[in-house]
């Protein structure tokens, strides 16, 4: 994994947006689609702002971009302001020229009898468009990526999962109390994520320092799913100084 440390999260976000912008521009210039795996949460918000700026100021087009989001709460109405559907439209999609048909976000209102088939089709769709070119990730304080909570295995695929207590606590403020946080979600699996050709994982702030240290240098284990990233050949870790503060890099 190559580790990139920046003074602050704005600079780290610019680094990630620049990498996405470069790949996108190169592929646009030869009329090839770009497939992006996208994340929600506080971590990628500034990356999306930077991408919107590139669209507005530099004419970077998203017309040939296909996106797959990592996860969605379940059950969840897309129109709900806490949905990741809402988040993505608010922070990116409404401000760029992406085609609505090219946007894929797990459907939080799929009937429970159909959810297994639906998840299989989500992975099939990623494969059909040629796989994810760039996957961006945040990391949970418990080491989750997407909603692959502790216990998620290397071979896990897109599926319905139960949310970890820590994850629900972290979301409590957004939902006005832990009792309102859904107990389940649909998430891409570890296997789904690791099929991406390139992965950029970001972490900002002291709160992430300990888990970053463990996930970059600790034993690869399903109890800390982000450790599985150590097995991928093309991962860039993007940190601010605080998130990197416990790393011993000499």
- Residues annotated as catalytic are 149
List the structure tokens of 90: 């608010």
User: Least CB distance from residue 25 to ligand PGA, whole Å?
Assistant: 26
Site stretch for ligand PGA (CB under 6 A), options 40-48, 82-90, 93-101, 231-239: 40-48
Q: Which of residues 43-82 bind ligand PGA (CB under 6 A)?
A: 43
Q: Which residue is nearest to ligand PGA (CB)?
A: 41
Q: Tell me the C-alpha distance between 54 and 48, whole Å.
A: 10
Q: Tell me the C-alpha distance between 161 and 166, whole Å.
A: 14
Q: Are strands 34-38 and 134-137 parallel, antiparallel or unpaired?
A: parallel
By beta-carbon proximity to ligand PGA, the closer residue of 20 and 201 is 201
User: Least CB distance from residue 23 to ligand PGA, whole Å?
Assistant: 22
By beta-carbon proximity to ligand PGA, the closer residue of 42 and 90 is 42
User: Least CB distance from residue 229 to ligand PGA, whole Å?
Assistant: 13
By beta-carbon proximity to ligand PGA, the closer residue of 43 and 69 is 43
By the 8 A CB rule, do 247 and 203 touch? no
Q: Tell me the C-alpha distance between 33 and 10, whole Å.
A: 28
Site stretch for ligand PGA (CB under 6 A), options 24-32, 37-45, 102-110, 151-159: 37-45
Among 42, 176, 231, 234, binds ligand PGA (CB under 6 A): 42
140 binds ligand PGA (CB under 6 A): yes
By beta-carbon proximity to ligand PGA, the closer residue of 35 and 163 is 163
User: Least CB distance from residue 204 to ligand PGA, whole Å?
Assistant: 8
90 binds ligand PGA (CB under 6 A): no
41 binds ligand PGA (CB under 6 A): yes
By beta-carbon proximity to ligand PGA, the closer residue of 52 and 137 is 137
Contact residues: ligand PGA, CB under 6 A = 41-43, 138-140
């Amino acid at each position: 994994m190559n580790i990139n440390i920046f003074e602050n999260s704005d600079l780290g976000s610019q680094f990630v947006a620049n990498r996405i912008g470069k790949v996108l521009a190169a592929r646009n210039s030869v009329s090839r689609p770009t497939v992006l795996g996208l994340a929600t949460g506080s971590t990628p918000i500034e990356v999306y702002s930077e991408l919107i700026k590139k669209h507005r100021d530099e004419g970077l087009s998203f017309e040939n971009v296909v996106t797959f989001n990592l996860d969605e709460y379940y059950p969840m109405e897309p129109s709900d302001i806490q949905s990741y559907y809402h988040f993505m439209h608010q922070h990116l999609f409404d401000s760029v020229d992406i085609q609505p048909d090219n946007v894929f976000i797990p459907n939080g209102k799929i009937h429970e009898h159909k959810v297994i088939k639906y998840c299989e089709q989500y992975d099939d769709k990623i494969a059909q468009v040629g796989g994810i070119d760039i996957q961006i990730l945040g990391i949970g304080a418990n080491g989750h990526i997407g909603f692959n909570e502790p216990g998620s295995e290397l071979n896990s695929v897109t599926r319905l999962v139960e949310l970890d207590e820590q994850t629900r606590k972290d979301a409590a403020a957004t939902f006005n109390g832990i009792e309102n946080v859904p107990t389940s979600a649909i998430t891409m699996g570890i296997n789904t994520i690791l099929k991406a050709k390139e992965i950029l994982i970001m972490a900002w702030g002291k709160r992430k320092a300990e888990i970053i240290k463990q996930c970059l240098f600790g034993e690869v284990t399903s109890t800390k799913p982000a450790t599985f990233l150590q097995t991928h050949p093309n991962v860039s870790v993007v940190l601010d100084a605080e998130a990197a503060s416990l790393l011993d890099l000499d």
